Chains A and B, each alone.
Chain A
Amino acid sequence: MQWFNVILQGVLIGGLYAMFAAGLSLIFGVMRLVNIAHGDLIVLAAYVALLVTQGLGVDPLTSLLLVVPIMAAIGYALQRGLLNYTLGDDLLPPLLVTFGLSIIIQNGLLELFTADSRKLQAGAIEIQTFQVAQGIWIGVLPLIQFAVAVAVIAGLQALFYKTALGRAFRATSDDQAVAQLMGLDTRHVFAMAMALSLAIIAIAGVFLAVRTNFDPAIGPARLIFGFEAVIIGGLGNMWGTLAGGVILGVSQAIGAQIDPGWQLLAGHIVFLAILAVRPQGLFPKVSG
């Protein structure tokens, strides 16, 4: 029963990892950009939420109403003002510029907020649990977090295949030049993709900040979790990314149960093992 609980907790945290991954996967899909600053932007969102909750006295979940549009606006501006200039055939500029951005965000946050670790207080909901079966308890907040993750993935899927914006994303992803010839402003499409990515980052950042302590230095590890979830699930498959997040979460939970020092290591080892035996990921996108 103890192991069942461990696995259940792993599954629920996997939803958070899938949210880290979804934004990363989205922009890679649309513009082949891997955003090294992704994790640091998650932490930035957590600090924005901290300011909003403290400034307005609202609870973290309500703060999303403000944090999501703020982050989306940052994403749009970032893409139009900086990242669009790095795109091209050469791989190096986007990588190095987002790497520089990562260092800038980390040290900027360090200057502004010091290295003290912070946490968002969500009140009573944080400790509420309910019993699903004899000896199995689920926290309300982790469950909400998982449900939100599923909703984010489902929403992205619907947006990609049912809306005009999604069509623009897919068109630019398939062939940027042709999309441009058909009248799409790819600079705007890319900026919208980055805005959407940062909107998801905002949600992930708030849930992260409610769940654990955060400080300016924890970004890179979140980038790595998101990246591992993407690769485990298979590039280009959103539901696969959710599965990847869950696998990562469960591996970490089992590792932590064996020895606390093995929590992160177990996740990385499962990732490397999957890379070794199935480099295309577990559920690669079917071509065509």
Chain B
Amino acid sequence: MSRVEHATRSSRIGVTLIAAAFVVLALAPFWGERQTLRLLAEVFTFVALASLWNLLAGYAGLVSVGQQAFVGLGGYLLFALVILLDVHPIAAILIAGPIGALVAVPVAALIFRLRGAYFAIGTWVVAEVFRLLASQISVLGGGSGISLPAAVVIAMAPSRQLREFEIYWLALALTAIVLGAIVALLRSRHGLALTAIRDNELAAQSNGIDVTRIKFIVFVLTGFGTAMIGALIFLMKLRISPDTAFSVNDWTAFVIFITVIGGIGRIEGPIIGTIVFFVLRQALADLGSLYLLMMGAVAIVVMLWAPKGLWGLIAERFGWQALPLQRHLVLTPKTEQPGGKP
């Protein structure tokens, strides 16, 4: 008799550490300064974006360089719902998710006709179309953009400090939800299929996995999450314009570098990558465009010499997993199963 287990010793330690980190981060308004809270909230959004991109590219093999389409869509939905329909900002963020998923359906139907690398550029075209359309919407500022009305922002909380706490907790909660959802997905039947697709698409298909359907589901779910995080990002920024909302550098280049450096195709990769990314950014912020240049170079070096990223190196060396995702058989003695069928 045997059963399948996910947890290992390292994943029990990992989960305990992550739970502890979550508690410490949730209490950050009591120990951190304003700047710290802002930085942490930004870190959370990048963890979420990178984790979503990792799900898409690392597991489903859908290498998109156009996820800024959904970040921008979410941002613009926030502004449209708040300014035009008087929706509360937090409600608007929650609505942005389903609309993002809804928009992802026809987008997927169209660009899934492109294979492999051409798919990547196809996603970019979609993002460009979104950007150009956004600059045609004159009630939302057209090409030059628009700010969130001060009255709306002030109405969010009784004081500025409370509003900042509120946004911080919102960022932490949304990121935790996104990560939790990805872990739940990967532990499900679909997750097993996804892992199989990650390891060998052809073999997965020949074992009866409907690869196209799974990829479609992942693309739509990623659209959901990315649009929601996009709305959150622009609630933090308070101002939106087509160029910032659909920036390929901010929402795709950084996100790809983070995932590649941290370890693509592993759930822990984007978290490690984001930490490395922000440490480098704090250290090298004065370098301006040279900084981006170096990020590009580091990503190329990692891709060529350590294609599984930093976490991949650690995981393979020590056999660690921070989250209980692997499946392994646990054999139990027969005597413990009275009357049970073998």
Contact = CB atoms under 8 A, between A and B. Distances in A.
B98 interface: no
Contacts of A36: 65, 120-121
A264 B242 CA distance: 15
B290 A86 contact: no
A151 interface: no
A99 B124 CA distance: 12
Contacts of A32: 116-117
Contacts of B126: 272
B253 A227 contact: no
A92 B65 CA distance: 12
Interface in A59-81: none
B110 A95 contact: no
Contact of A261 (B111, B124, B135, B295): B135
A14 B116 CA distance: 26
A32 B296 CA distance: 22
B23 interface: no
Contacts of A175: none
Interface stretch (A4-12, A41-49, A104-112): A104-112
B124 to A, nearest CB: 6
Contact of B296 (A93, A100, A268, A269): A100
B125 interface: yes
Most buried by B among A99, A101, A220: A99
Interface in A227-241: 227-228, 231
B128 interface: yes
A265 interface: yes
A264 B128 contact: yes
Interface in B200-248: 248
A110 B289 contact: yes
B140 interface: no
Contacts, number: 117
B284 interface: no
Interface string B291-328: 01101110110011001000000000000000000000
Contacts of A86: 303-304
Nearest to B120: A95
A97 B124 CA distance: 17
Contact of B295 (A33, A97, A103, A223): A103
A200 to B, nearest CB: 18
The 10 closest A-B pairs by CB, nearest first: A34-B117, A103-B296, A279-B113, A100-B296, A107-B289, A107-B293, A104-B296, A100-B300, A265-B132, A110-B289
18 contacts: A28-B117, A34-B117, A34-B120, A34-B121, A85-B304, A91-B63, A92-B264, A93-B303, A96-B300, A100-B297, A107-B289, A108-B293, A110-B289, A224-B125, A261-B136, A265-B129, A268-B128, A272-B129
Interface of A: 28, 32-34, 36, 82, 85-86, 91-97, 99-104, 106-108, 110-111, 220-221, 223-224, 227-228, 231, 261, 264-265, 268-269, 271-272, 275-276, 279
